């Protein structure tokens, strides 16, 4: 088996840590747990991340950049805002199904353990890649005269709060249908709520 590069090894740690943190919780998961899962010594682990808090912050930056990159790909497409909404919803739900640990981490670790993130990850700092792309999406929608010009957070909350809520219900196994089934209606609801009046 080819030897992993340092970057690849880092990504492996991130994936393993995301899963453990979102399944077991931030405080219960230890560095030895993570090191064991990726098959490395605890000593070696510290060559990649010098503390659990630093790893926690790196994870939220990783998720934010992952989401930001995908929304940017949608933003760069020459399609209507209505279609972009569908694509964002679709991307988000696919991610919730394929890599649920990313959204779980955001909801269960980042939003629930604010004390871990208050030094160096306040406000927009660690999530700016994602929020910036949402700003670009809304700005473009208004510029194209397709969205109602309103306060950013009113619109952002409606969009992401809705998606977060649905993914939470999905994670709790409350939804009677798979997420895929809701994409169309939820996209329509978001568009109807945000469109130019």
Partner 1 sequence: MHSKNDKKPSIIWFQGLTCNGNTHSFLNLENLENLLNKFEILSHPSLPSTQDFNSITECTLECDIFIFEGTYDPLMKRNDTSISKIVKYYAQKARYIIALGSCASFGGVFKASAPERNSGLLFNEQEKSGPLLKYESKVINISGCPIHPEWLAYTLSMIEKRREVETDSLHRPIELYSTLSHHGCTRNEYFEWKVDAGAFGEKEGCLYYKQGCRAPMTHAPCNKILWNEVSSKTRVGTPCFGCTEPDFPRKNLFSTKTNMSIPEDIPLGVPKRSYLTMAGIAKTFRIKRLEGKLIDYKTAD
Contact positions vs partner 1 (CB under 8 A) = 122-125, 128-129, 131-133, 135-136, 138-139, 141-143, 147, 149-153, 155
Nearer to partner 1, 68 or 102 (CB): 68
Nearer to partner 1, 25 or 157 (CB): 157
Nearer to partner 1, 40 or 158 (CB): 158
Nearer to partner 1, 157 or 178 (CB): 157
Tell me how far, at minimum, the Cβ of 187 lies from partner 1, in Å: 19
Tell me how far, at minimum, the Cβ of 117 lies from partner 1, in Å: 12
Q: Which residues pair with 195 in a beta bridge?
A: 147
Rounded Cα distance, 97 and 133, in Å: 22
Q: Any idea what DSSP says for residue 108?
A: I
Which regions of the chain does DSSP assign to beta strands (E)? none
Nearer to partner 1, 50 or 149 (CB): 149
Nearer to partner 1, 24 or 114 (CB): 114
Structure tokens at 22: 């979102």
* Cβ-contact 84, 148 below 8 angstroms: no
Tell me how far, at minimum, the Cβ of 159 lies from partner 1, in Å: 11
Tell me how far, at minimum, the Cβ of 132 lies from partner 1, in Å: 5
DSSP letters spanning 14-75: HHHHHHHHHHH-TTT--HHHHHHHHT--HHHHTTT-SSHHHHHHHHHHHHHHHHHHHHHHHH
Rounded Cα distance, 48 and 53, in Å: 13
Tell me how far, at minimum, the Cβ of 143 lies from partner 1, in Å: 6
Tell me how far, at minimum, the Cβ of 130 lies from partner 1, in Å: 10
DSSP letters spanning 142-158: HHTT-B----HHHHHHH
For residue 104, which of 10, 23, 31 has the smallest C-alpha distance?
A: 23
């Amino acid at each position: 088996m080819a030897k992993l590069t340092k970057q690849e090894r880092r990504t492996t740690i991130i994936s393993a840590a995301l899963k453990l943190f979102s399944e077991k919780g931030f405080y219960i998961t230890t560095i030895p747990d993570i090191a064991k899962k990726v098959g490395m010594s605890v000593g070696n682990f510290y060559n990649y991340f010098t503390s659990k808090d630093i790893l926690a912050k790196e994870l939220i930056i990783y998720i934010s950049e992952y989401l930001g990159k995908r929304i940017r790909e949608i933003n760069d497409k020459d399609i209507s805002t209505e279609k972009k909404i569908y694509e964002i919803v679709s991307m988000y739900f696919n991610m919730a199904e394929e890599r649920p640990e990313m959204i779980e981490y955001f909801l269960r670790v980042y939003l629930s353990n604010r004390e871990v993130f208050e030094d160096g990850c306040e406000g927009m700092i660690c999530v700016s890649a994602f929020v910036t792309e949402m700003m670009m999406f809304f700005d473009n929608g208004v510029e194209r005269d397709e969205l109602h010009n309103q306060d950013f957070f009113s619109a952002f909350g409606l969009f992401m709060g809705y998606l977060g809520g649905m993914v939470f219900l999905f994670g709790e196994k409350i939804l009677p249908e798979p997420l895929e089934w809701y994409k169309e209606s939820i996209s329509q609801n978001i568009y109807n709520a945000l469109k130019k009046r």
